[in-house]
């Protein structure tokens, strides 16, 4: 049941935001101008990152943890603001369902946020596809001596649609046949650009720099040469502004941007995070999937771009997650299993070690299920103590902020104790792409080597000595394992990661390294979540 919601103007006023700063989208949603960012106020805020152990189909609960932590801090009298990503329709109708938290720790209005939510994803999709249409149009009319030969830019759709992964465009005389395809909007470069741009000028610069394709001579064609950046900016005008909503207990929450962490960089927008840090003494944000994917990209890409770093990182985990990583059969994960729990803790240990390698203070947030035994919870608590790691039982799902006060207290203690030693990146930008990939694979994933396909090698050869060679790397890889084999749960090691492709995201200013057969357009499962969603008496049901 949805709680009684406050008018969004009241939520904004609770953090000192004036009414005139809001562009209202009904009673409970508003757009907030990115220009309200105040660098001095943001510098005084404490940023809290929420990540998790390696995920599995049972989920781990990062979003619920983030929301519950904000509510727990509020109950302790702290001024907390949360910054999250927007849900994609792909997972909403696919395998995962809604992405607005759960139980007593949700963000509202849930149906609006999970579906069209102020039109941001649609605007990003339209902007992406305008670039594609303009590129095809240029190729159709280009009669120069050096015409556009190959268009790299793909179309996008915010839906899991495997039939569109590879397509042929330009048939029947409409420009000449050419192989292309669709990415899901969450994996598109426009999504990454919107999330990494700091203001309108930066957004326009990045759109100008988009690599559209290559001419017959091999020379690149950038979008600036099509002289239509203003049109793309017009489509993104409203979408670029962060959205303000509220949690079940009235905590202000910015929800903006939605890149996946397995095939994109997995963080909400810099603009939203900056506003959360401007208006909150404590700003809580999350990074998608496990710490090896989402947190790594948050720290190596987003923090580097935005000039920010967390004061503490929370690793969310559950008994289910640990037991699955310890080899328990999926049918038995609700049952006590000390052996599987103990083996699964190796996965948690790997993530703790990695985050400490980034210079992070770590708090383990154990999300409790109603079937969790006190003896298993105590075992994990004692294990954390033996490993010098803060532990907190999080009952935010069942009890809201009251169930997350302990987690909030541990987070505050880590911050007050200045336990973080300062952000350390995995690599330096002046290292080669191969060196950057190698360091992530060997130091974060704990593999032994990398290899490149001839296609990936050709791309790296093409950018040798160029500014693109100095970009951060964004690895597209399965979220279910440290390796590229989704079935290798727990703590896989001494493996090779093979990169089939390297994509130059010149506007986003990172290289996407695609591991194995990882796809940037997911498909629907055999039994999609879409079958559980319905409209009953004018209300959407079945999203969560």
The model's pLDDT over 11-63, given as tens digits with 9 standing for 90+, comes to: 999 999 999 999 999 999 999 999 999 999 999 999 999 999 998 876 789 99
Do 452 and 390 meet the contact criterion of CB atoms below 8 Å apart? no
pLDDT given at position 14: 97
Segment among 172-176, 217-221, 382-386 with least mean pLDDT: 172-176
pTM: 0.95
Which residue has tokens 């963080």? Answer: 267
Pairing mode, strands 243-247 and 105-108 = antiparallel
The encoded tokens of residue 134 equal 């303009």
Task: State mean pLDDT over 211-224.
Answer: 96
pLDDT at 543: 80
Query: Chain-wide mean pLDDT for the chain?
Result: 95
Above 80 in pLDDT, residue 277? yes
What's the token pair of residue 83?
């910054």
Distance CA 345, CA 5 (A): 39
Model confidence at 263: pLDDT above 80: yes
Give the pLDDT band of residue 174 (cuts 50, 70, 90): confident
Mean pLDDT of all residues in 488-517:
95
CA distance 216 to 32: 45
Contacts of 528 (CB under 8 A, 6+ apart): 93, 94, 95
Distance (Å, whole) CA 166 – CA 155: 11
The long-range contacts involving 430-436, CB below 8 angstroms and separated by at least 24 positions, are 430/470, 432/469, 433/460, 433/463, 433/469, 433/471, 433/473, 433/502, 433/511, 433/513, 434/460, 436/472, 436/473
Q: Tell me what pLDDT residue 529 has.
A: 86
HEC profile for 299-352?
A: HHHHHHHHCCCCCEEEEEECHHHHHHHCCCCHHHCCCCCHHHHHHHHHHHHHHH
CA nearest neighbour of 108 among 11, 250, 246: 246
CATH class of 433-515: alpha beta
Taking alpha carbons only, the member of 43, 45, 46, 20 closest to residue 33 is 20
Let me know: does 414 contact 461? Beta carbons within 8 Å. no
- 472 contacts 304 by C-beta, under 8 angstroms: yes
Is 517 a residue whose pLDDT tops 80? yes
User: 88-120: b or e for each residue (b if 16 or more CB lie within 10 Å)?
Assistant: bbbbbbbbebbbbbbbbbbbbbbbbbbbebbeb
Determine contact, residues 439/427, Cβ cutoff 8 Å: yes
- Categorize the per-residue pLDDT at 175 as very low, low, confident or very high, splitting at 50, 70 and 90: confident
Q: Cα dist. 47→93, 174, 221, 269, 487 in Å?
A: 32, 51, 39, 14, 34
Work out the pLDDT band at 1, boundaries 50, 70, 90: low
pLDDT at 58: 63
SS3 content of the chain, % helix, strand, coil (to 5): 40, 20, 40
* pLDDT for 530: 87
Q: Which fold has domain 31-118+239-416?
A: Rossmann fold (3.40.50)
Partners of 183 in the beta sheet?
156
CATH level 2 (architecture), domain 120-236: 2-Layer Sandwich (3.30)
Please give the share of the chain, as a percent, with pLDDT higher than 90.
88
Every domain of the chain with CATH number 3.30.1510.10 lies at 120-236
d(CA 135, CA 153): 8
Radius of gyration of the chain (CA): 23
Q: Which backbone phi and psi does 366 adopt, to 5 degrees? A: -90, 110
Give the CA distances from residue 415 to residues 52, 252, 275, 450, in Å, rounded to whole numbers and listed in that order.
19, 21, 20, 37
The answer to whether residues 427 and 442 touch, using CB atoms and an 8 Å cutoff, is no
Domain(s) labelled CATH 3.40.50.300 in the chain stretch across 31-118+239-416
Q: 3-state class of 224 per DSSP?
A: helix
Q: Where in the chain is the domain with CATH 3.10.410.10?
A: 433-515
């Amino acid at each position: 049941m949805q709680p009684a919601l406050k008018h969004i103007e009241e939520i904004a006023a609770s953090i000192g935001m004036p009414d005139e700063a809001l562009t209202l989208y009904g009673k409970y949603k508003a757009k907030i101008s990115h220009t309200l960012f105040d660098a001095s106020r943001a510098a005084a805020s404490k940023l809290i990152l929420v990540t998790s152990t390696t995920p599995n189909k049972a989920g781990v609960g990062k979003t619920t943890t983030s929301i519950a932590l904000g509510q727990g801090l509020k109950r302790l009298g702290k001024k907390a603001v949360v910054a999250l990503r927007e849900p994609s329709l792909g997972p909403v109708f696919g395998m995962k369902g809604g992405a607005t938290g759960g139980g007593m720790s949700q963000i509202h209005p849930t149906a609006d946020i999970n579906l069209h939510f102020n039109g941001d994803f649609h605007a990003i999709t339209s902007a992406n596809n305008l670039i594609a249409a303009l590129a095809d149009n240029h190729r159709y009319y280009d009669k120069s001596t050096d015409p556009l030969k190959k268009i790299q830019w793909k179309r996008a759709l915010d839906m899991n649609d495997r039939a569109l992964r590879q397509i042929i465009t330009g048939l029947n005389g409409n420009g000449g046949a050419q192989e292309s395809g669709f990415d899901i909007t969450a994996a598109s470069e426009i999504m990454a650009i919107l999330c990494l741009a700091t203001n309108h000028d930066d957004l326009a610069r990045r759109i100008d720099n988009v690599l559209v394709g290559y001419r017959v001579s091999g020379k690149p064609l950038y979008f600036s040469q099509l002289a239509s950046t203003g049109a793309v900016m017009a489509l993104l005008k409203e979408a670029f502004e962060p959205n303000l909503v509220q949690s079940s207990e009235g905590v202000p929450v910015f929800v903006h941007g939605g890149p996946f962490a397995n095939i994109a960089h997995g963080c909400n927008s810099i603009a939203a995070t900056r506003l959360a840090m401007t208006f909150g003494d404590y700003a809580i944000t999350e990074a998608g999937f496990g710490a090896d994917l989402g947190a790594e990209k948050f720290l190596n890409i987003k923090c580097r771009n935005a000039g920010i770093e967390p004061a503490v990182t929370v690793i969310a985990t559950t008994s289910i997650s640990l037991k699955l990583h310890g080899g328990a059969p999926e049918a038995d994960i609700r049952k006590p299993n000390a052996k599987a729990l103990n083996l699964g803790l190796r996965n948690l240990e790997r993530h703790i070690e990695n985050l400490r390698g980034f210079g992070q203070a770590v708090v383990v947030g154990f999300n409790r299920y109603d079937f969790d035994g006190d003896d298993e919870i105590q075992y994990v608590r004692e294990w954390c103590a033996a490993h010098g790691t803060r532990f907190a039982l999080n009952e935010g799902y069942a009890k809201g902020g009251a169930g997350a006060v302990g987690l909030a207290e541990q987070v505050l203690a880590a911050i007050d104790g200045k336990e973080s030693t300062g952000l350390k990146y995995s690599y330096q930008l002046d290292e080669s792409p191969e060196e950057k990939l190698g360091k992530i694979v060997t130091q974060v994933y704990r593999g032994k080597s990398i290899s490149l396909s001839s296609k990936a090698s050709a791309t790296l050869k093409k950018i040798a000595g160029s500014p693109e060679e100095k970009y951060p790397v964004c690895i597209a890889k399965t979220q279910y394992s440290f390796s590229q084999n989704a079935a290798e749960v727990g703590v896989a090691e001494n493996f090779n990661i093979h990169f089939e492709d390297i994509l130059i995201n010149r506007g986003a200013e990172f290289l996407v390294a695609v591991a194995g057969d990882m796809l940037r357009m997911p498909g629907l499962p055999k039994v999609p979540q879409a079958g559980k969603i319905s409209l009953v008496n004018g209300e959407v049901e079945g999203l969560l």
